[in-house]
C-alpha cells in the first residue's frame, strides 16, 4: 500500500530528556540506544534494506552520503544506520564512532558571533557522550588544523580491538540531494583509516517514491588503489571508489556528479 501521508519527524521530548541530560553532564552514553529513541518520532518509520551486508563481528568503516533537507536534519538519516549496525553486531564494538564537524561555520554576523561558538560547545558535549570524532569545517580558514582529530580517528582502527567508524566522505549535501565530490584529502583519509585490512561498508540514504526514509546497505569492499600512483591521484581514486559504491545504492535521481559513471556500470535491462 502506498504511503500518502506527509512524513513527520518530531522529537519525542519525553524520551530524549534523559539522553539530553546525560550529554550536558558529560556522561558516556550509547549512541545506538539514543538513536533508537529519536526514531520513535519518525512517521513513517525508516526502512532498512540489506542489513545482512553489515559484518556481524569484524571491523569496518561505514561510508554514507550526506543527506538532509528542510524538515529532515542529517541525524534522521544517520540514526537508522546506527541502529541497524548495533542490531546486527554479535559482539562489541556495536556503536559507530561517527566523524562530524567540530562546529558549524559562519562567515560573519550573528552566526559567526553566536551560533558558531554555541555549536562548538554543543558538539563538544556530544563528542564526549558518544565518542564522536570532531573534524574542522572544510574551509580555507581551518586548513591544516585537523591533525589531532585525524590521528585520533586513525588510532581507533588500529590495535587489537578496532572500532567501527562512520563518516560521510562528501561532508555536505549536494544540490537537489544528489551526490557531490568529496573535498581534497578525503580519499587519502579513507585509505589510511582502512589501511588495506579493514573493508568499507557503503550505505545509501534516500527517501523513496513514497517518501519513506530508507537506508540501503551494500556489500563491504576493499579499496583498489595502486600505491605507485602520485598522492593526488590516489586521493581521487579512493574518493571516487567510495562515492560510486554509495551511488549504486541510491536512486538514479541522486547520482549527481557520478551519473555518467554509474550509468555505465548499470547492468543492461532484461
Chain segment 177-228, per-residue pLDDT in tens: 999 999 999 999 999 999 999 999 999 999 999 999 999 999 999 999 999 9
Whether omega before 199 lies within 30 degrees of 0, making that bond cis, reads no
Based on its alpha-carbon atoms, the radius of gyration of the chain, rounded to whole angstroms, reads 18
Please give the pLDDT value at position 139: 73
pLDDT exceeds 50 at position 37: yes
Bridge partners (DSSP) of residue 135 are 101
Enter the C-alpha cell of residue 200. 568499507
Please give the pLDDT value at position 269: 55
Structural domains of the chain sorted by starting position, each given as residue range(s) with its CATH number in brackets: 9-255 (3.40.1130)
Gap between the Cα atoms of 215 and 90, Å rounded: 20
Gap between the Cα atoms of 4 and 41, Å rounded: 18
Please give the pLDDT value at position 3: 47
Residues ≥6 apart with Cβ < 8 Å to 262: 244, 247, 248, 252, 255
Please give the pLDDT value at position 133: 95
CA 263 from chain centre, in angstroms, equals 24
Residues ≥6 apart with Cβ < 8 Å to 176: 253
Enter the C-alpha cell of residue 209. 517514491
* 145-178 tens-digit pLDDT: 778 889 999 999 998 899 999 999 998 999 999 9
Enter the C-alpha cell of residue 258. 557520478
Find out whether 185 and 235 touch, Cβ atoms under 8 Å: yes
Please give the pLDDT value at position 70: 92
Q: What is the pTM of this model?
A: 0.93
3-state SS class at 216: strand
Model confidence at 1, pLDDT cuts 50, 70, 90, reads very low
Average pLDDT of the residues of the chain: 93
Task: Decide which of 144 and 15 is more confident.
Answer: 15
Gap between the Cα atoms of 156 and 199, Å rounded: 14
Residues ≥6 apart with Cβ < 8 Å to 120: 102, 103
Please give the pLDDT value at position 202: 98
The pLDDT of 34-63, averaged and rounded, is 97
- DSSP string for 60-90: -EEEE----BTTB-HHHHHHHHHHHHHHH-S
* 99-150 tens-digit pLDDT: 998 998 898 999 999 999 999 999 999 999 999 999 987 777 777 777 888 9
Amino acid at each position: 500500500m502506498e504511503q500518502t501521508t506527509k512524513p513527520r519527524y518530531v522529537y519525542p521530548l519525553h524520551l530524549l530528556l534523559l539522553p539530553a541530560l546525560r550529554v550536558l553532564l558529560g556522561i558516556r552514553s550509547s549512541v545506538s540506544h539514543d538513536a533508537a529513541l529519536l526514531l520513535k518520532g519518525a512517521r513513517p518509520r525508516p526502512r532498512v534494506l540489506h542489513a545482512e551486508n553489515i559484518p556481524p563481528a569484524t571491523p569496518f568503516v561505514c561510508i554514507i552520503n550526506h543527506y538532509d533537507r528542510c524538515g529532515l536534519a542529517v541525524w534522521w538519516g544517520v540514526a537508522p544506520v546506527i541502529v541497524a549496525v548495533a542490531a546486527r553486531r554479535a559482539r562489541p564494538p556495536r556503536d559507530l564512532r561517527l566523524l562530524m564537524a567540530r562546529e558549524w561555520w559562519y562567515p560573519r554576523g550573528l552566526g559567526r558571533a553566536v551560533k558558531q561558538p554555541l555549536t562548538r560547545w554543543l558538539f563538544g558535549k556530544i563528542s564526549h557522550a558518544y565518542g564522536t570524532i570532531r573534524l574542522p569545517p572544510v574551509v580555507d580558514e581551518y586548513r591544516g588544523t585537523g591533525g589531532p582529530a585525524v590521528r585520533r580517528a586513525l588510532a581507533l582502527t588500529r590495535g587489537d580491538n578496532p572500532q567501527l567508524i562512520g563518516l560521510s566522505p562528501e561532508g555536505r549535501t549536494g544540490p537537489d540531494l544528489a551526490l557531490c565530490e568529496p573535498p581534497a584529502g578525503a580519499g587519502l583519509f579513507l585509505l589510511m583509516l582502512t589501511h588495506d585490512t579493514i573493508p568499507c561498508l557503503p550505505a545509501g540514504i534516500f527517501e523513496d517514491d513514497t517518501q519513506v526514509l530508507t537506508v540501503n546497505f551494500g556489500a563491504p569492499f576493499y579499496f583498489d588503489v595502486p600505491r605507485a600512483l602520485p598522492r593526488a591521484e590516489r586521493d581521487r581514486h579512493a574518493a571516487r571508489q567510495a562515492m560510486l559504491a554509495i551511488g549504486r545504492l541510491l536512486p538514479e535521481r541522486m547520482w549527481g556528479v557520478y551519473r555518467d559513471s554509474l550509468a555505465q556500470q548499470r547492468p543492461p535491462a532484461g
